[in-house]
Amino acid sequence: MVAHIIYVVSDSVGETAELVTKAAISQFNGSNAILKRYPFVEDIDNINEVLAMARNDQGMIVYTLVKPDIREYMKEQAKEQQINAVDVMGPIMDMFERNFDKAPLNEPGLVRLLDEDYFKKVEAVEFAVKYDDGRDPRGLLKADIILIGVSRTSKTPLSQYLAHKRYKVANVPIVPEVDPPNELFTIDPSRCIGLKISPEKLNHIRRERLLSLGLDDKANYANIERIEREMEYFDKISTKLGCTIIDVTNKAVEETANIIINYIQKRI
C-alpha cells in the first residue's frame, strides 16, 4: 500500500493542525498516511525547507500559520510547485476579520496559552475543594495561600474566588476545642492570611444561618460569649503564627480577595 506523507506545519507546536488532519484521515479507513509534524515555522527559509521535502516525497501539506506574510508565501509557493496544501487557519481568520471588523493579533500559540490558563484554573478549583475546611493538613504544604478563621468568616467562598484567579488555596477553621494541625506552624507565615470579624457581626451572621436551617438562633453556636471566646483563641493562634490579618467585618468576598491578591503579588 502506498504511504501518503503529510507534513503538518505550524508556527506554534502544531497540535491544532495535527488534530484536524487526524480527524480527516479517520474518514478514510484503511488509508496509509504518515504524519510529519513541522512546528515553530518562523520565516521563509522554514517554509522553503518544508516545500522541498514535500516535493521530494510527493507529499501533502496541512498548515496553521497565523502570520499573513508567511501564510501567503506558503499558499503561493505550494500552488506554483504543484504541491497539495491546505490552509486550516487562514480562511477562518479572514472570515472572522470581516465579521468582527477587527484585525487579528497574528500571534502564534495563543490558544495554547489559553488552554494552559484554563487548566491551571481547574487545578486550583479542585485543590480548594480537596483542602477545604482543614480536611487534609498536607494541603497546607502545597498551597499558595492558607486562610484561617473561625466559622462563617467566608473562608470557603474566598478559597473558591481565589481559585478562579489560579491560586491554590487551603483553609483551616479555628476552633477552641480543636488544636490546629501541626503543618500550619511549619509553613511560611507570609502565605497565611487570618480572617477577623467583629463578634457582633459574626453573631448576626450565625443567627441568620441557624434560622435558615430551621434551627434555634439562640444555640451556643451563635452565643455572643461563645463567639468572643472563639475570637480570643483566633487572636492567640494568629499571633503565634505571625500571619497577616484582614478584618472582613464589612467586606464583600471580592473586596477581601482583592486585598489578598495585592498582598500576595507584593510579597512575590
Domain CATH for 165:
3.40.50
117/178 same-domain check: yes
158/205 same-domain check: yes
The pTM (predicted TM-score) of the whole model is 0.62
Predicted local distance difference test score (pLDDT) of residue 267: 79
Q: Which of 40, 74, 108 is the last residue of a domain?
A: 108
For residue 150, pLDDT beyond 80: yes
Q: Which of 89, 108, 127 is the last residue of a domain?
A: 108
119/96 same-domain check: no
- Give the residue among 238, 249, 204, 210 at the shortest CA–CA distance from 224: 204
For residue 1, pLDDT beyond 70: no
Predicted local distance difference test score (pLDDT) of residue 29: 80
Q: By residue range, what is the domain housing residue 161? A: 112-267
Q: Is 159 annotated as a binding residue?
A: no
28/43 same-domain check: yes
- The helix or strand, by DSSP H or E, that contains position 61, with its residue range, turns out to be strand 60-64
152/245 same-domain check: yes
Q: Is 151 annotated as a binding residue?
A: yes
104/136 same-domain check: no
For residue 66, pLDDT beyond 80: yes
157/131 same-domain check: yes
Q: Is 12 annotated as a binding residue?
A: no
Q: Is 153 annotated as a binding residue?
A: yes
CA dihedral (258, 263, 265, 268) in degrees, to 10, reads -160
pLDDT tens across 186-204, in order? Answer: 999 999 999 999 999 999 9
Q: Is 102 annotated as a binding residue?
A: no
35/143 same-domain check: no
Q: What is the spatial distance between Cα 251 and Cα 243, in angstroms, rounded to a whole number?
A: 19
Q: Is 249 annotated as a binding residue?
A: no
Q: pLDDT category, 106, cuts 50, 70, 90? A: confident
254/176 same-domain check: yes
Q: Is 154 annotated as a binding residue?
A: yes
Average pLDDT over residues 11-31: 87
For residue 137, pLDDT beyond 80: yes
Number of domains into which the chain is organized: 2
39/168 same-domain check: no
pLDDT tens across 152-187, in order? Answer: 999 999 999 999 999 999 999 999 999 999 999 999
For residue 68, pLDDT beyond 70: yes
Pairing of strands 85-87, 33-38: unpaired
Q: Helix, strand or coil for residue 130?
A: helix
118/250 same-domain check: yes
44/125 same-domain check: no
Predicted local distance difference test score (pLDDT) of residue 268: 61
pLDDT tens across 213-231, in order? Answer: 999 988 999 999 999 999 9
Q: Which of 86, 108, 130 is the last residue of a domain?
A: 108
Q: Is 209 annotated as a binding residue?
A: no
Phi, psi (5° rounding) for residue 50?
-65, -45
